[in-house]
Amino acid sequence: MSKLPNVGTSIFTVMSKLAVENNAINLSQGFPNFPIDPKLVEIMQKVAAGNNHQYAPMGGNLKLLAGIARVIAEKYDREVRPETELLVTAGATQGIFATIQALVAAGEEVLILDPSYDCYEAPVILTGARPVRIPLADDFSPDWERINRSINQHTRMLIINNPHNPSGRVLVEQDFLELDKLMQRHPHLILLSDEVYEFIHFEKKHISVNTRPQLRQRSVVVSSFGKTFHITGWKIGYLTAPEAYIAEIKKVHQFLVFCVNSVAQATLSEYLGIVEFSELGKFYQDKRDLFKNLMKKSRFKFLPSEGSYFQLASYRDISAEPDIEFCKKLVFDHGVATIPLSVFNKDGKDQKLIRFCFAKDTPTLTQAAERLCRI
């Protein structure tokens, strides 16, 4: 008997496989295809040549933890105790899984805002809890009144994602004022804030839960070095939370992975001292704008992308087909792989929207746009 009877091969794997089989340009799966910072490579080579190949401390490399604490203090004016309020994880997904397993009990409920990334629901089900999927508005803003009405005595956790995947939208100050009130109204609620794209934001500034004193006392913030430094294959992230939460999460973490790759941790502990985070948003904004300009003559209509490295587009002027079928047709007939938005919704709501990943080099974006503009 399956514990996850409704889980099959993810749409990201399906579309990437179709891209390979059909020699299509892959704008579906969210991973960059350009080189990482040469300074990071240089540090990694030096670290790999040294004595950094045994188990790291369970909670994280101490120098790396101190470096993360400095970043949080500099960027968010939040002081954290490195060894008790931080945890280095084997990617954000493992951090999310361990958090839900540690802090949510069987019979409780977890609120998930749709469209949502697919790693939230499975750990809720595996812990014996009930996922409650609540749709965002058509502009991907939260309906705070509806969220509030969905909370009862069994509701243990609310998950937010900011900047948001797949829409690329960011929460604004008014959203946080509403969230502040909601958390005060429901003192038993824990907030899980997925902020893996926290340093990739454009015209609108990303507001982190780290900056909200009331919220962060009952929140777990999820961060990703993989997304921030486009090293997705390193699978390394971290959690920031009050000591009581981290202590419980570590109990799961130690039996799930025990510790995270020692070479990657030692490398990042040095890199954090020299990298300039403020350049990351501009880097990806240039890519967003390039792709948008290349697509001006297409029949796709772009929605606002305020953060992350994703761009939603409407194809209503091109086809009335369901989005999954339209995405397959793009691969087979036009050689470009994308992601249909309906797969992010529990009810399969189809708004005739698809998601492009623009974290690609200029030749890839140019070639993809040329093909898409011919449709």
Distance of CA 281 to the CA centre of its chain: 15
CA dihedral 130, 214, 226, 276 (to 10 degrees): 170
**Closest C-alpha to 309, from 92, 191, 164, 173:** 164
User: What does the alpha-carbon distance between residue 208 and residue 84 come to, in Å, rounded to a whole number?
Assistant: 20
Give, to the nearest 10 degrees, the angle between helix 262-271 and helix 62-76. Answer: 40
* Alpha helices for 27-135 (secondary structure H): 38-49, 62-76, 82-85, 92-103, 121-126
Can you give the pLDDT at residue 10?
A: 80
Helix axes 92-103, 243-256, angle to 10 degrees: 110
CA 190 – CA 246 distance, rounded (Å): 13
Residue showing tokens 């990351």: 280
Q: What is the pLDDT of residue 6?
A: 83
* pLDDT on residue 218: 98
Name the DSSP class of 272.
T
> Average pLDDT over the chain, rounded to whole?
96
Measured between alpha carbons, how far is 33 from 320 in angstroms, rounded to an integer? 32
CATH class of 38-271: alpha beta
The strand pairing partners of 223, in sequence order, are 238
Asked whether the beta carbons of 199 and 283 are under 8 A apart, the reply is no
| Rounded distance between C-alpha atoms, residue 318 and residue 314, angstroms | 9
The length of the chain is 375
Identity of the amino acid at 217: Q
d(CA 35, CA 211): 32
| Positions of the chain with pLDDT under 50 | none
Burial of 174 per CB tally in 10 Å (0-12, 13-18, 19+): exposed
Chain centre distance of CA 151? 24
Predicted local distance difference test score (pLDDT) of residue 273: 94
Cα angle: 274, vertex 50, 88; to 5 degrees: 55
pLDDT score at 336? 96
CA 103 to chain CA mean position, Å: 20
- Whole-model pTM: value is 0.96
Listed in order, the ranges of the chain carrying CATH 3.90.1150.10 are 11-30+277-373
* Fold annotation for 11-30+277-373: Aspartate Aminotransferase, domain 1 (3.90.1150)
pLDDT tens readout for residues 213-239: 999 999 999 999 999 999 999 999 999
338-358 burial, b at 16+ Cβ within 10 Å, e below that, comes to bbbbbbbbeeeebbbbbbbbb
Of 100, 58, 87, the C-alpha closest to 255 is 58
- Quote the radius of gyration of the chain (alpha carbons, Å): 20
DSSP string, 276-329: -THHHHHHHHHHHHHHHHHTTTSS-EEPP--BTTEEEEE-TTT--S-HHHHHHH
First to last CA, the chain: 45
Question: SS3 for 14?
Answer: helix
Q: Are 137 and 167 in contact (CB under 8 A)?
A: no
Tokens matching residue 277? 């985070």
Instruction: Give burial (CB, 10 Å; 0-12/13-18/19+) of 61.
Output: buried
Query: How many whole angstroms separate alpha carbon 96 and alpha carbon 90?
Result: 10
| One-letter identity of residue 22 | N
Q: Report the DSSP beta bridge partners of residue 112.
A: 133, 159
Q: How many CB atoms lie within 10 A of CB 366?
A: 13
